[in-house]
Amino acid sequence: MESHTQAGAHLDVPMHVVHFLIGGLIVLAIAIPLLIHLKRRYQKAGTTTSKNLQNEKNRSDIIFNAIADGVVLLDTKGIIQAFNPAAATITGWTDKEAIGLDYRSVLTLTDAKGQEYADGQAPLAIALSQHREIKDNTAMLKLRSGKSLALSLIVSPLLDDKQQFLGAVAVFRDVTAERTEEKQRAEFISTASHEMRTPVAAIEGYLALALNDHVSQIDAKARSYLEKAHASTEHLGKLFQDLLTSARAEDGRLMNHPEVVEMGEFMEQLADSLRFAAEKKGLSVDFMIGASGDVTATGSKVVKPLYYTHVDPDRLREVITNLFDNAVKYTPSGKISLGLTGDREVAQVYVRDTGPGIPTDDIPHLFQKFYRVDSSATRTIGGTGLGLFICRKIVELYNGRIWVESEVGKGSTFYINLPRLESQQAESLRKQEAASQPIMGEIASLSAPGL
Ligand code: ADP
């Protein structure tokens, strides 16, 4: 025992502990280099990934595969060359199945009503044949299961440096949920405004009776209160009417019976009925058909060009009246010009005023719902901000375009372009319409009164 304690450095350690320590050292000897190796490998893998990202091909592959929108690459003949995973999820086709097929087998598109597009009118067909970008937010995709999805789609042509056409790329996403929500919202607005119009009309009627000298005797104070109430009720009635029209325009339920319209005659009648409101405000009105070069004089007769369009005259009257009413409303003094001109392709209507003009920043938003210019010249004048939105929706029904050119302090000109029919086309359409008139009459008498 003593020798043990004297030895000092000698420890009486049990053998299993010694074995344990030796084993631990061996494990450490193996594990540390392994960990260092793994760490290096990990770092190396990291640099490989960032190298991969720097490599152009890998980078585009990674983006192509990771992007949440469906992306489909087509060659000049419409054969699918690439199909990303999102396209596979949306369409239900795998890339292996889809690549090499004509796009029409995989992307079976219909319009918003589920009708197949006419020959060459599908968005992809237009991009492939006309080499231009097509945006479509109304298309539906028919799945193999028979179900349909609402799509938001952009097809862009692919052109090389020399503007040589290489094919097209379609980028799309499933917007079924958004569209259902939009539809529900529009339905709610449409029902609510329809229901509210009736009591508002009754209040307006009773206020009008109270203000009528032959019916009621009221003092000056009561009259001034009732006049204010009447003006506000009128505004409310207009707001509900506009809400109803815009909700119907959005969900495609706007009553619309297009027919062949000779724009010159139509505009002449309209100008006659509109000028009164402007002249009452002290504004002068002029109306002109054709640019000065278009009108030719033969002897004493003036030959004006005939501009035929295919539109619902009631709807078009609504649009032009709205533009004219705005011109009257926002122009304190000066002139309003109403005109019709055009070329082989389009009939163009314009409404020009000498009012306050519209700031450049506001112009891109002007045809959006509820947009009102916040300028001192127009802010105080009542309105709903729905008129121009409704105008755009109606003009778009006829594949037309509406826009404004304006200069602050000088005035604004609103333009409408509508596709022009050739005289022969107009004639044959008129014959077709006349032939289907009795049937249309019966349908109209069966349907509920619309807007
Ligand atoms: P509302 O006139 O009921 O407000 P609109 O949609 O018809 O709604 O017009 C939107 C806005 O555009 C108006 O609030 C007004 O600021 C501006 N605006 C429209 N027409 C004219 C015009 N002729 N001149 C100046 N501003 C105009």
User: Which residue minimizes the CA distance to atom 2 of ligand 1?
Assistant: 383
Residues of the chain with pLDDT under 70: 1-54, 291-303, 376-379, 437-451
Torsion sign across C-alpha atoms 407, 372, 275, 229: negative
User: Which residue minimizes the CA distance to atom 19 of ligand 1?
Assistant: 326
| Strand intervals (E) in 39-164 | 70-75, 80-83, 108-110, 134-136, 140-142, 148-159
- Alpha carbon 252 to chain centroid, angstroms: 13
- 10 Å CB burial of residue 237 (0-12, 13-18, 19+) is middle
| Strand intervals (E) in 43-99 | 70-75, 80-83
CB of 378 sitting under 6 A from ligand 1: yes
Give the span between the Cα atoms of 240 and 62, in whole angstroms. Answer: 51
Q: CA 285 → CA 273, 334, 336, 339, distances in Å? A: 12, 9, 5, 11
Helix pair angle (313-330, 263-280), 10° resolution: 30
Q: Quote the ligand 1 centre to 374 CA distance (angstroms).
A: 10
Q: Which of 411, 419, 417, 373 is nearest to 392 (CA)?
A: 417
114: left (phi over 0), alpha (psi -120 to 50) or beta: left
Ligand 1: residue of 323, 326, 380, 405 to mutate (most ligand atoms within 8 A of CB) is: 326
Q: Quote the ligand 1 centre to 239 CA distance (angstroms).
A: 14
346-384 pLDDT, tens digit each: 999 999 999 999 999 999 999 999 899 987 666 677 788
Place of tokens 């990202």: 53
CB of 239 sitting under 6 A from ligand 1: no
Give the span between the Cα atoms of 109 and 141, in whole angstroms. Answer: 5
What is the helix (H) or strand (E) element at residue 351, kind and residue range?
strand 346-353
Contact status, residue 154 vs residue 133, Cβ threshold 8 Å: yes
Give the span between the Cα atoms of 178 and 87, in whole angstroms. Answer: 19
Neighbours of 415 (CB within 10 A): 17
Ligand 1: residue of 285, 318, 330 to mutate (most ligand atoms within 8 A of CB) is: 330
- Compute φ and ψ for 110, nearest 5 degrees: -130, 170
Q: Which of 166, 180, 20 is nearest to 81 (CA)?
A: 166
DSSP string, 166-226: EEEEEEEEE-HHHHHHHHHHHHHHHHHHHHHHHHHHHHHHHHHHHH-TTT----HHHHHHH
Structure tokens at 448: 């509920």
DSSP string, 271-321: HHHHHHHHHHTT-EEEEEES-TTT-EEETTEEEPPP-EEEE-HHHHHHHHH
Q: Give pLDDT, residue 7.
A: 39
Contact status, residue 13 vs residue 4, Cβ threshold 8 Å: no
135 contacts: CB under 8 Å, gap ≥ 6: 153, 154
Q: Give pLDDT, residue 376.
A: 67
